[in-house]
Structure 1
Amino acid sequence: MTTIGVITRGKYGKRLISNLLTRTDMKVLSAEVPEHLPDFIDEPEEFLEQVAMDRTVFNAEIVITYSLHPDLTPQIAHMAGRAGVRALIVPGGASKAPVQELKRISQEYGMYIEVEDICCTLSADPAICEFTDKLSRPLLEITTHEGKVAEVKVIRGAPCGSTWHMAEELKGVSLKDAPAKAGLLIQQYPCRAVRGNKGGIHESAQLHKDAVLKAIEKAALKK
C-alpha cells in the first residue's frame, strides 16, 4: 500500500486528505505548518523545529506540501530527500516555490519534484503514478439515454474532489449542454485554485469540460 504524506497549512491540504481517504486505498500521514507565516524566514530548519512539525510525515513514498512559502518549501524538500521520500509534489506554482532551487535539491537526492499551479494537471510520471492514477487530470466514462447524461463514472478526478461533485450534478443534463455545464460546476466548487486569471480554476474548468466532451464522444461510438 502506497503511503502519501500531506503537509497542510490552514485550509490548504485538508480536502486532499479527505479525498485520499474516501476515494483511494492509500495510507495517509499528515503534518501541519502554521497558517500565518512571516514573509521571510531566515532559518527555516530552526523555524520548523520551533513549530514542532511532525516529521513522521516523511515516512511516505510521496509527499505533497502545501507550505506555500518560498523559504519553507526548500527546507521541506531537503527533509524529504534525507528521509528517502521518492517524490515531492508542490502545489501553488512557481510564485510560491523557488523552482530552480528545488531542481537542485531534486538532483542532490535523486528525488522527483513537481511544482504545479493546480493538481489536476499533474504529469503521469512513474514516480507519482500511484497518486496520479487516481487523483489528477479528470478521466470519465459517461452513459447516455435519450439525449441526456444518465450516469458519470469518475475513473480519475481532481484531488480537491470537484470532479465527483460535477459528475453527480451532470445527471439528467442534455448532451449538448453537458460540457459547458461541467465547466461551470467546477468554477462554482470551492476549490482552492487561483481565481481571476487565465490559469487556476479556469484551467481546471476547461480540463473538465474537455473530459466530459471526450466521454460523450466515446459513448456515442459504442452505440
Structure 2
Amino acid sequence: MPLAAGPTHRRRVGGPAEGSGGPAVRDRCANGKWAAGSNLAAPGSTGEVSNVKILVLVQGTYGRRICEHVKAKGPPGWETTEVFLPFLTQPVLEEPEYYLPGSLGPADLVLHLGETHQAAQLLPAVTRAAGAGAVIAPISHSHWVPKGLRNQLRQELSQQGQSIVFPEPFCSLTEETAGLFPPVPYHHPLIRTFARHFGYPRLEVELSDDGQRLAKVEVTRSSPCGSSYHAAARLAGFDVSQVLPTAGLICLRHPCLASMALEERGGRTETIMHLAGQVFNTAMEEALSRRVQRTVHR
C-alpha cells in the first residue's frame, strides 16, 4: 500500500536522490562505507573536523529553530542545509528512497529533527544518499524514535559504515557520551566536533564585588536549541543563593522540541523537557563551582 506523501516530496522509485552520485559524495561513502575526505578526520580520531557539511532534517517549527541556531552560532567552516521530510501515515517497509526529498547532499553529518517515527525510518536511506558518515538523532519524544527502532538504526547504519547517537535530551550530548540514563559512549569525530560547539551547555560566570550576585553569565557551549543564551541573558543580577533551580526554569521558557509527556527512565517519571532544565541547572552549578575555585586560588 503506498504511503501518504505530498507530490513535492516524491521522486522516481529506485533512482538515486539528486546530488547523491557526485564525486564529493563518493569520496565520503565509497561502496556504502564512509571514507575520510581531505578535510575529514578518520573515524576513531580525536581530532577536530573542519569544513563540516551538516544536513538538518526537519518537519516543523521547532526543528527549524534549532537549524537556524546552529547556522547562526556554528564555526565559519560549517555548511548547514535544511531539508523538510514528508509526513507519512504508515511505516516505511520498503523502497525508502521513494520518499526522500528531491535534493539531499552531499553531507558529512546528518542531524535528525523529525517528529514522526516514519521520518526516523528514512535515516539509513538519507545517510546513504547524502554520503554522510554519522547521524545525531536526538530523542525529544520517545514515540518519534522508539527504542526498538533505535536498535534497528544502529544495526543498519553500522552495516553501512556509519555511526548514530541518540542524545536524550539533545542538550545531554557531550564530546564523549550521549544521553543520561545511562550516558552512552561514542567515538566518531564528526559527532564529537558537533558536540564541541552544541550540546551540554558550558557556562562561565562573573560575580558582583561582594560575591552575592551574578554579574555576568557567558555561554561558551550552547544547547542546540539556543536556550542557553536565552537563560544567560536573563540571569544577570540574580542572587547566587537563588539561581538554582531558577536557572533551569528560565531555560525552559525558551521554545524547545523536547516533549512534556511523562515517561519513566532511570527509575524516575518525568518529562524530557524537565530533563533539559535539569541539565542547564547542572551546567550552572558547575560554572559557579569553577568560579569559586578560581577565587580561592587567587
Partner residue in 1 for 2:250: 185
Task: Give the number of the structure with larger relative contact order, counting CA–CA contacts within 8 Å between residues 6 or more apart.
Answer: 2
Q: Does 1:19 align with 2:82?
A: no
SS in 2 for 1:188: coil
SS in 1 for 2:136: strand
Report matched runs for 1:69-218 at 5 Å.
Answer: 69-81=116-128, 83-92=130-139, 94-97=142-145, 98-124=149-175, 125=187, 126-145=189-208, 146=210, 147-197=212-262, 198-218=270-290
Q: 1:144 to 1:90 in 2, by over 3 A?
A: same
Q: 1:109 to 1:82 in 2, by over 3 A?
A: farther
Deviations 1:147-190 (A, max 9, x none): 11111111111101100000000001011111211111122222
Q: Taking structure 1 as the reference length, what is the TM-score of the superposition?
A: 0.88
Partner residue in 1 for 2:42: none
Q: Taking structure 2 as the reference length, what is the TM-score of the superposition?
A: 0.68
Deviations 1:66-113 (A, max 9, x none): 233333323332331354311111123553221121011122111111
Deviations 1:105-131 (A, max 9, x none): 122111111123321012424331221
Q: Whole-Å Cα distance in 2 between the matches of residues 121 and 100 of structure 1?
A: 19
Q: 1:54 to 1:133 in 2, by over 3 A?
A: farther
Q: 1:17 to 1:71 in 2, by over 3 A?
A: closer
Contiguous gaps of at least 5 residues in structure 1: none
The offset of 1:54, in angstroms, is 3.8
Q: Does 1:10 align with 2:60?
A: yes
Q: Whole-Å Cα distance in 1 between the matches of residues 288 and 143 of structure 2?
A: 36
Q: Whole-Å Cα distance in 2 between the matches of residues 61 and 47 of structure 1?
A: 22
More helix by share: 1
SS in 1 for 2:241: coil
Q: Does 1:63 align with 2:104?
A: no
The offset of 1:27, in angstroms, is 1.3
Q: Whole-Å Cα distance in 2 between the matches of residues 68 and 151 of structure 1?
A: 36
Query: What is the RMSD computed on CA atoms of the aligned residues?
Result: 2.0
Q: 1:47 to 1:72 in 2, by over 3 A?
A: farther
**For the Cα contact (< 8 Å) 1:6–1:65, is it kept in 2?**
yes
Share of identical aligned residues, percent? 23
Matching residue within 75, 82, 95 for 1:30: 82
Instruction: Give the residue type in structure 2 aligned to 1:64.
Output: L
Contiguous gaps of at least 5 residues in structure 2: 1-50, 176-186, 263-269
Q: Whole-Å Cα distance in 2 between the matches of residues 118 and 54 of structure 1?
A: 30
